[in-house]
Amino acid sequence: MATEVLMPKLGLTMTEGTIEEWKIKEGQAVKKGDILFSVATDKLTSEIEADTDGVLLKILLAEGEAGPCKSVIAYIGADGEAVPDGGALATAPTEAQTAPAEEKTPAGGPKSVIVIGGGPGGYVAAIRAAQLGAKVTVIEKEFLGGTCLNIGCIPTKCLLHSAELLEEIRNQGKEIGVETSGVSVNFTQVMAHKNAISARLTSGVAGLLRMNKITKVDGTAAFTGPKILEVTKADGTKESMTADAIIVAAGSVNAVPPIPGVKENPCCIDSTGALSLEKIPESMVIIGGGVIGIELACAYAAFGTKITVVEARDFILPMLDGDITAVGVAHMKKMGIAFCLECSVQSIEESPAGARVVCTDKTGDTVSFEAEKVLVAVGRRANTDALNLDAAGLRNDRGRILVNEKMETNVPGVYAIGDCVFGRAQLAHAASAMGEAAAENIMGLDAVYDEKTNPACVYMMPEAASVGLTEEKCREKGIDYKVGKFPMAANGKALIINGGEGLVKIIADAKYGEVLGMHIIGPRATDLICEGALAIRLEATTEELITTIHSHPTVTETMREAALHLEGRAIHTGNK
């Protein structure tokens, strides 16, 4: 007799599951322990193993369909064996079917919201609007999670984690008593790990949308008028859609500079290409000294690639304080990364190595660099070309939508958030904050997006983070300020983690001691920076940081010590 395959019950609150993918197809042989299918709930996605050997005789629940827990969704048996009841799906009554009918929505119904884009801004906006009672639809043309989860923040950090572990083993292992031999990079597995993490997170986003009863439409949206969209779906059909409010969360794409040869040379890649290489290149020229270029420079340098960074300005990482950048540059030079600053790229030519980057240096001389790959990392631009903004009457600056602090556009009922707006930080956490503000304003709350507490994080080696004003900005604004610094070398936990490389710097108002900026480079910098953001939000003073007890031994002590130094009261360093 054929064996029933049941929809699993993976948790106390799980009532149904959705088949994401059948790993074994009808008619194929399966062994006990093989992954049979993957199932998604409102919280997670799990892979389910077969309980028996045989042939997958019949699938009753197709991919994308949902079924109640413990219902029969397939049969496994001997080849040619009959399936009970002709293979009809057997279902048990769900809680929803046996529960009393829900109270009907009040007259007029809930407010409807359409979100264009399912990235960190879009899906967060959708969830917040749904929490507040809206009927929400998300239109996504490619993948949930946007650039961040699929081809940006998360994949880059996966590569960097592998690279950092490699660097620690090579450079610190022997010193701390961890001796290994033959350490090497399995680049295929590095990429597999990256893909697995991205898949898990994007699956989680899909579960969150289901949990909040948000409808997802696979397709591309374009305005045909104010608050009117034409959506071209994945199957090619078109549908006109409108709502009480529309949130544009279209994100951004890699900018391509008008450099002769950059589009024609196949050795030129962008960040997406750098995150999907099949092998580690022997050499790479990186055009651009911003966050994307520097993070990938660190990762590939650790993997063994010879890296040259070409930057038109006389500095890199403009979002960081100069003292913080100096520490990072010194470390990267030790890694073998070369920098050519004040160097303007003129063209890209073919060469035996792959590509030749021809530049003009600060003296006016022509210099060139050859490499197997050229990473073009000169920033990102708003991904609004296909939206037909003019048809909606949306004011924009070269595709970047103009909004106020409530994320409202000039068209009533249309909001815009994230990388596609003008004059705001192009960061995932900033997009999420904008999304929450937009959703709350749509639903009648009074919310604003305030960027002064927005941290900038650079996951280089060692990692760096910054929030608030730098010394350079204070001087520009004519602010009378004081500075406190504390070296990681004087902190026990930092010494243990990375040998004490790094620095904490606090900038405060000279008269009242109000914290204006905090800048960190060293272990856990991107995790620590939120103390600085909170201090700025609360208009905290250095005295309040000092009188807050910081646990020992932790890297967080460095922030209190920097505040002590600013006040001339340093305990674990000099007061000069």
Active-site annotation, residues: 552
> Rounded CA gap, 130 and 128, in Å?
5
Quick one: which of 569, 478, 570, 467 has its CA closest to 516?
A: 467
Place of tokens 């760096």: 464
Residue type, 13: T
Sheet holding 366-371, edge to edge: 344-351, 354-360, 366-371
Residue pointed to by tokens 């439409």: 217
Is residue 381 a contact partner of residue 255, using CB atoms and an 8 Å limit?
Answer: yes
Residue count of the chain: 576
Q: Is the peptide bond before 462 cis (omega within 30 degrees of 0)?
A: yes
Query: Looking at the DSSP assignment, which residues form a beta bridge with residue 216?
Result: 138
Residues 6 or more apart in contact with residue 40 via CB below 8 angstroms: 17, 18, 19, 20, 203, 206, 207, 210
Listed in sequence order, the residues at least 6 apart from 46 whose beta carbon sits closer than 8 Å to its beta carbon are: 8, 10, 38, 39
Asked if residues 323 and 519 have their Cβ atoms less than 8 Å apart, the reply is yes
48: β partners: 37
Residue 84: DSSP 8-state: G
